[in-house]
A = this chain, B = another copy of it.
Amino acid sequence: MNLCKKCSKNAVVFLPYSGEKLCRKCFLTSLEKKVQKAISRSRMLKISDRIGIALSGGKDSVVLLHILNKIESKFPESKLFIIHIDEGISQYSINNQKIAQKHASELDIPLIQNSYKKIYGKTLDEIIKQAEKRENKRLGACSYCGVFRRKALNITAREANVDCITTAHNLDDETQTIILNLLRGDLNRLIRNKPTPKKIHPKLVPRIKPLRTIPEKETTLYAYYKNLRHNSEPCPYASEAYRDDVRIFLNQIERKRPGTKYNILSLYDKLSPQITINQNSIQECTICGEPSVEKKCKACQLLEEILP
C-alpha cells in the first residue's frame, strides 16, 4: 500500500495536498523539479545570469544553495555566488559563518561576505542593546534585523555585480507574510512582497524566491535526506509573537484542509499584479545614497533613532 507513486519502491514521504506517496529518491528529484519549474515558469533567472544566493546558514538557504547548484550545473554560462551577511549575533552568527564557508568550499562557489559591523558600524547585538535603552519607539529585534539585512544584501550583491539575489523564503514564509500584512491592513507591504524579477532601479538588485511554492516541511525533509549541514538552533532574538500566531493558525488549517497554503499564494499571485499603490518612486537616500521609497531609507532612520 505504501509504495512510491513514481517507482513503486517503499514510500517514506506523503504529500497530503496532492495525495502523493514518494520514496526518498523520487521525493528529492520531484522537489528539485518543482523548483526548476517555478524558476522557468516565472522567468526568474536567465541562463547567463550571475546569481547571488543569500545564505544565512539556516536549512532553507542551504537547501536553496544545493538545488540551485544542481540546476545551474546544466547551464555552464550561469555562475553562482554565495552571499553571506554576518549580523553580529554572538555565537549564533559565528556558527552561521562556518556553515557558509563549509558549503562554499565544498561546492567550490565564491563566497562573498559582508557584515552589519562593516556596513553600519555596529553589530545587531550592539544595535539591540542601544535600542533597549529607548523606552518608547522600540521595535522587535526581527524588525530591526529585517531592515538592515535587506539593505546589506542589496549593497553586497550590487558590489559583487550579480544580476539577482535569490532568497530561501518558502511557502510557509510567504503565506504567513501575506496574512500578517492583511491583519495589519498594510496594503503597501502586502503588494511590495510580490515577485519582481525585473530591475526597477539601477541600484536595486532584483530579488527572487525560487522556493516560494515549497512547503517548509519539504525543505526540512530535503535537508534531512540529503544530510545537509545547517544551523538548526533558532536565532536568540527570534520571537515574532504575531508571526507565530499566524503560523500556528495556518498549520492547523493546512492539516485539516491540505492545499490551503497553495490556495493563498495562488490567489495572491492572481491579485497582486492588478494592484497599484500610491508608492513614491524609488529615490536615493539623502544620507547613504541607497535606494529608498522615502527621503531617508528605513535603515538610516532606525540608526538615527537608536544611536546617540
Whole-angstrom distance between the alpha carbons of A271 and B179 in the complex? 14
> 1/0 contact trace for A255-278 toward B, CB 8 Å?
011001011101100110011100
Q: Which residues of B contact A20 (CB under 8 A)?
A: none
Whole-angstrom distance between the alpha carbons of A253 and B182 in the complex? 12
Closest to A275 in B: B274
Q: How far is the CB of A113 from chain B (nearest CB, A)?
A: 38
Whole-angstrom distance between the alpha carbons of A270 and B267 in the complex? 17
| A260 and B183 form a contact (CB under 8 A) | yes
Q: Does A184 contact B (CB under 8 A)?
A: yes
| B242 and A182 form a contact (CB under 8 A) | no
Whole-angstrom distance between the alpha carbons of A256 and B271 in the complex? 29
Secondary structure of the A side of the interface?
A: helix
Q: How far is the CB of A17 from chain B (nearest CB, A)?
A: 12
Q: Does A47 contact B (CB under 8 A)?
A: no
| A252 and B263 form a contact (CB under 8 A) | no
Whole-angstrom distance between the alpha carbons of A262 and B186 in the complex? 12
How many chain A residues touch B (Cβ–Cβ < 8 Å)?
Answer: 27
Whole-angstrom distance between the alpha carbons of A267 and B188 in the complex? 10
> 1/0 contact trace for A79-102 toward B, CB 8 Å?
000000000000000000000000
Q: Does A307 contact B (CB under 8 A)?
A: no
Q: Does A147 contact B (CB under 8 A)?
A: no
Q: Does A120 contact B (CB under 8 A)?
A: no
Residues of A within 8 A of B (CB): 178-179, 182-187, 190, 242, 245, 249, 252-253, 256-257, 260, 262-264, 266-267, 270-271, 274-276
Given A252-B245, A276-B274, check contact A264 B187 (CB 8 Å).
no
Whole-angstrom distance between the alpha carbons of A252 and B244 in the complex? 13
Closest to A186 in B: B267
Q: Which residues of B contact A183 (CB under 8 A)?
A: 253, 257, 260, 263-264
Q: Which residues of B contact A242 (CB under 8 A)?
A: 257
Q: Which residues of B contact A266 (CB under 8 A)?
A: 185
| B274 and A185 form a contact (CB under 8 A) | no
- Chosen A-B contacts, 21 in total, with CB atoms closer than 8 Å, are A182-B182, A182-B263, A183-B253, A183-B257, A183-B263, A184-B260, A184-B263, A185-B262, A185-B264, A185-B266, A186-B263, A186-B267, A187-B270, A187-B271, A190-B267, A245-B252, A245-B256, A249-B249, A271-B271, A274-B274, A274-B276
Whole-angstrom distance between the alpha carbons of A266 and B190 in the complex? 13
Given A253-B245, A256-B245, check contact A182 B274 (CB 8 Å).
no
Whole-angstrom distance between the alpha carbons of A226 and B264 in the complex? 41
